[in-house]
Copies of this chain bind each other. A is one copy, B any other.
Amino acid sequence: MDMGSYLAAVRENTPLVHNITNYVTVNDCANILLAAGASPIMADDRDDAPEITSICNVLNINIGTLNQRTIDTMAVCGQKSKELGHKVVLDPVGAGASTLRTNTALAILSQVHPDVVRGNVSEIKTLYFGEGSTSGVDAADIDKVGEKNLLEAVAFARDFAKKFGCVAAITGAIDIVSDADTSIIIRNGDAMMSTVTGTGCMLSALTAAYIAASDNTLEATASAVAAMGLSGELAKSRMSALDGNSSYRNYLIDAVYNLDAAALASGAKYETR
């Protein structure tokens, strides 16, 4: 797989990405899309968003800070996108932390059939088993994917992908991107990424741009995940003694901005199983 080609496709095609997303990290999602060479648009009103969806190339649904008004819009735009042949990403932020979040994510899964579901392992487990408990918006310690439980996690990702007919992107210290047959394990990234709010949200937005610019959803998703992780490493290498998580956020988006196909191709650390 040439991960660099997926990055290049985003810069060549400038996909227009419709985001229905939370108000906490929305600005970073917009800027990371611009950094990657995509074009973001945000719209969440029932009377506005379906028309916006129709002029876009892909839809990114993120359920953080959901409310009844936006939940309705998510379902309507998700279905509209699929009718138009656009791909859809679902980021089930906080699934397992509340019944509304779990049920909303499950409803979108069954009504919209997203092409990619990207979340932390606790969120993804919650959706698979139909219930669960997450520690807020972060993965529970017990769920975390490491070298010891990696094979088990890969098998789970594959089952999830099969059950929901999507690509599963389970991200954490080790990332797994899988469809029903093939799994890609990615070992890019840096622990500093968890000190910035919205790195998961940003990755979901980035994933939407990558899959919009390619026919191969599995590899495009894996490339987005590797690009984000590699950018996290590059950002870390810029840190000076007085820098903290706020400067790191800037360096992270800057790194996505400066990343090119050759750097991604050589810097991506992954294996396919």
Which residues of A does B touch, CB under 8 Å?
16, 22-28, 30-31, 34-35, 39-45, 47-48, 51-52, 55-56, 64-69, 94, 97-101, 133, 135-138, 195-198, 234, 238, 242-247, 249-258
Q: Are A258 and B246 in contact (CB under 8 A)?
A: no
20 residue pairs bridging A and B, Cβ less than 8 Å apart = A23-B26, A25-B30, A27-B28, A27-B197, A31-B197, A34-B245, A41-B137, A43-B65, A45-B66, A48-B66, A48-B101, A51-B99, A52-B97, A55-B135, A195-B257, A242-B255, A244-B256, A244-B257, A246-B257, A247-B251
Of all A-B residue pairs in the complex, the 5 with the closest CB atoms, nearest first, are A244-B257, A244-B254, A246-B253, A30-B197, A45-B67
Q: Are B27 and A24 in contact (CB under 8 A)?
A: yes
Give the complex CA separation of A34 and B55 in angstroms. Answer: 35
Shortest C-beta distance, A101 to chain B (Å), equals: 7
Q: Are B67 and A48 in contact (CB under 8 A)?
A: yes
The 8 Å CB contact of A67, one of B44, B52, B100, B242, is: B44
Give the complex CA separation of A51 and B102 in angstroms. Answer: 12
Give the complex CA separation of A27 and B35 in angstroms. Answer: 19
Q: Known pairs A31-B196, A41-B97, A48-B100. 7 more at Cβ < 8 A?
A: A27-B197, A27-B198, A35-B246, A39-B138, A42-B65, A245-B254, A246-B257
Q: Are A244 and B48 in contact (CB under 8 A)?
A: no
Shortest C-beta distance, A197 to chain B (Å), equals: 4
Residues of the B chain whose Cβ atoms lie less than 8 Å from the Cβ of A24: 26-27, 30, 42
Residues of the B chain whose Cβ atoms lie less than 8 Å from the Cβ of A251: 242, 246-247
The 8 Å CB contact of A100, one of B45, B55, B255, is: B45
Give the complex CA separation of A249 and B39 in angstroms. Answer: 17
Shortest C-beta distance, A62 to chain B (Å), equals: 12
Q: Are B246 and A250 in contact (CB under 8 A)?
A: yes
Shortest C-beta distance, A42 to chain B (Å), equals: 5
Residues of the B chain whose Cβ atoms lie less than 8 Å from the Cβ of A253: 244-246
Give the complex CA separation of A64 and B260 in angstroms. Answer: 31
Residues of the B chain whose Cβ atoms lie less than 8 Å from the Cβ of A257: 195, 244-246
Chain B residue, CB-CB nearest to A136: B41
Residues of the B chain whose Cβ atoms lie less than 8 Å from the Cβ of A234: 242
